[in-house]
Amino acid sequence: MDKETKLAEIRERLKVLLVDQLSLEDITPEEIGDDCELFGAGLGLDSLDAVEIVVMLQRNFGMEVKDMEKSREVFRTIGTLADYVYSKTEG
């Protein structure tokens, strides 16, 4: 599978997981854009969601997020998160 296809697959899987694991209301995975900001004005996630995403990545992708400070940029959008997951699991 080439990188773009794999990244697309990761993005879709992340959207499903976010809606499910964070109990997001009034939004479906399909409605979340790749460039949608996760925190602040976009999905409106907060600090508790951030640590929940860390657990979600661990359980579903076998990844550790060691440094929460660095995670700010990585967790910015679905796209940046998918890139990070790809780099840790496939790269």
Query: Which chain residues interact with another protein by CB under 8 A?
Result: 22-25, 46-49, 51-52, 54-55, 58-59, 68
Min separation Cβ 8 and another protein, Å: 27
Please say which residue, 6 or 37, places its beta carbon nearer to another protein: 37
Helix (H, G, I), strand (E, B) or coil at 39: strand
Min separation Cβ 45 and another protein, Å: 11
- Strand (E) or helix (H) holding 53: helix 47-61
Min separation Cβ 76 and another protein, Å: 18
Copy the structure tokens of residue 39.
């925190």
